[in-house]
Amino acid sequence: MHETVTVFRTAFPLARLLQGIGRDRASFAGGVVVILLVLVALLAPWLAPHDPVKQNLAHALAPPGGEYPLGTDDMGRCLLSRVLYGTRISLAVGLLVGGLSAVAGTLIGLIAGYYGGFLDEVLMRLTDVLMGLPNLVFILAVVGVLGPGLGNTILALVALGWLHFARVVRGSVLSLKESEFVLAARALGFSGPRIMVRHILPNVLGPVVVLATFDIPHTILAVAGLSFLGLGVQPPTPEWGAMLNAARPYMRTYPLLMITPGLMIFLTVLAFNLVGNGLRDALDPRRSRILDGVGG
Amino acid sequence: MLSYLVRRIVLLVFVLFGVSIITFTLMHVIPGDHARLVAIYRWGYDDFSSQELSVVRREIGADMPVWRQYAWWLGHVARGDLGYSFVTKRPVTAEILARVPATLELAVAGFLLTVLIAVPLGIACARRPSSWFDNLVMTGSLVGVAMPNFWLGLLLILIFSLTLNLLPVAGGGGPAHLILPAVTLGAGMAAVSTRIVRASLLEVLEQDYITMARIKGLGEGAVLWRHALRNALIPVVTVLGLQFNHLIGGTVIVENVFGRPGVGQLIVEAIESRDLPVLQGGVLFLAFCFALVNLLIDLSYAFLDPRIRYGGSDG
């Protein structure tokens, strides 16, 4: 009987997603850049010519070239090394927040959608309230009260991040709940958790993966923005937004200090967005490329 | 329509209620005694008697149980009394109101710029999808979406202020001071909005009644302007409303980049100086504006599309 039921499960279309990515030149390029960034993050200690936090005031604000390929900052730290190490924080926080939000949101969405009733009502009104706040204002409130820093920033981002996952998953669950394979599973007497995890979950994973892919660049931008305001990652940790903030007094004389970290944020966000677009198109072929304007 | 209006206002009140609880809770999870904090700011560290402390405690309502504190605080907020700044000792409401013009100016300019860029470009792209122009604009929009606004602002300062000496670097003041901040704020929003205008117009153009209008022999211009555009406007308004979230976040960042004395900058300064009443007031103020705009957007649908009746349970 077990065999009969698993037939009804739809396999998670990972292969289809990857195929879709491969077909689309722009998202393929985005994927390549993402892989490169991951490699840079992993290999940073070997790629970086210097220690990213070690100060050397004798070499402060050195021009590019020679021992320091991109020059040094006001504390005499190697800009290239800091930019390379910066990949680690951005990617790690992006993945962490995206992952935590996805797991929490999916779980909440599954439960709210499947069981409905009072619990569903409470959870959905909670999402109403949290969505009724401008994101950055909420993050500022959390960081302002609990204190600046990376930990509190992550906390605030996850507190907002789960909302979209929960809404999307709940919506899918509501329609899947009445579908025949779920009714069949219920008729067979399977428990709620089992039906949710083994029968409904695989069918909502696609949109969840797409949302998570877009959550990563959102997170990276938010963390960099907050660090730029001086409220996120604190110096001397090499983080791109914090580096931009520190570079402001030297904009005219040493523009490279400002240009390089910004360029890294831009490229990273662009790459993840392209991958996300590709995943979304692969998942929803009805939405034609022309309609959505995936140009270039 | 009336019942819809009432429902939306009930939701607005509910959201504001929730926001007030969140803000209140946040202020009460900070470690330490709130009254002591106020006293320290007022008289300096350990420079106050226990009698003075209990006066402060009564003054800020900290001698009551938590739920009564909340009601007490909410009553004051409803009367526009947001307490006093720890730093300047002035009323928080006055501090915020003094900062509103700079933010409002920036937000309006950025929003206008977004509409002025996104609507014409989106329409032009939708008329000839996949043309070179369309591809160019869509690629540009990908770039615009990925561009961090704080970096864009710095780049604009570097190019137009520091290198070309065309525009002032920072501060408030005349229209020249508004150009770079407005462009910084509007660019990212325009990038997203162009995409949406284009997509929603393309979707409308595929519908039967448009085909019908064409069969009828109407010119492309008449089809577009008289039939398609009006219906494409509804999703556009939705998205411009969603953009308001980015708009508020954007003003905080842009004010910081350009040193504009706005509400966002007030909040950032309050965080730096641990000025909790100002932080709390600023957050509440922006949340209130956000909720109000969302309500206005919802109401505007009814005027854009008379077919929408809002009788259903999930309108």
Rg of the Cα trace of chain B? 24
- Geometric angle at alpha carbon B192, from B315 and A155, rounded to 5°: 75
Which residues of chain B are within 8 Å of residue A33 when distances are taken between CB atoms?
A: none
Inter-residue contact A109 to A168 (CB < 8 Å): yes
Instruction: Report the distance separating Cα B13 and Cα A239, nearest Å.
Output: 40
Of chain A, the percentage scoring pLDDT greater than 90 comes to: 45
Which of A127, A145, A218, A267 to mutate to test binding with chain B, by most B CBs within 10 Å of its CB? A145
The alpha-carbon gap from B10 to the nearest alpha carbon of chain A, in Å, equals: 12
Q: What is the mean pLDDT of chain A?
A: 85
Instruction: Report the distance separating Cα A190 and Cα A193, nearest Å.
Output: 8
Which of B198, B283, B288 to mutate to test binding with chain A, by most A CBs within 10 Å of its CB? B283
| Confidence check: pLDDT of A269 > 60 | yes
User: Within 13 Å, how many C-alpha atoms sit on residue B168's CB side?
Assistant: 14
Residue of chain B with shortest Cα separation from A148: B271
Most confident of A33-47, A55-69, B22-36: A33-47
The alpha-carbon gap from B288 to the nearest alpha carbon of chain A, in Å, equals: 8
**What ipTM was assigned to the predicted interfaces of this complex?**
0.85
Per-residue pLDDT reduced to its tens digit, B140-186? 999 999 999 999 999 999 998 888 877 776 665 667 788 899 999 99
Query: Under an 8 A CB cutoff, do B18 and A266 touch?
Result: no
Residue of chain A with shortest Cα separation from B243: A134
**pLDDT at position B48, please?**
75
Most confident of B134-143, B223-232, B273-282: B134-143
| Confidence check: pLDDT of A197 > 50 | yes
**pLDDT at position B57, please?**
76
Name B153's Cβ contacts closer than 8 Å, sequence gap at least 6: B180, B181, B184, B253, B254, B257, B258
Residue of chain A with shortest Cα separation from B255: A229
| Confidence check: pLDDT of B13 > 60 | yes
Q: What is the mean pLDDT of chain B?
A: 82
Rounded to an integer, the average pLDDT of B296-303 is 75
Most confident of A13-17, A78-82, B60-64: A78-82
**pLDDT at position A15, please?**
64
**pLDDT at position A19, please?**
65
The alpha-carbon gap from A82 to the nearest alpha carbon of chain B, in Å, equals: 17
- Geometric angle at alpha carbon A82, from A78 and A85, rounded to 5°: 140
**pLDDT at position A2, please?**
44
Distances (CA, A) of B45 to A214, B37, B38, B40, B87: 47, 9, 10, 5, 14
User: Which member of A141, A292, A295 has the closest CB to residue B283?
Assistant: A141
At how many degrees (to 10) do helices A201-228 and A256-283 cross? 170
The alpha-carbon gap from A21 to the nearest alpha carbon of chain B, in Å, equals: 17
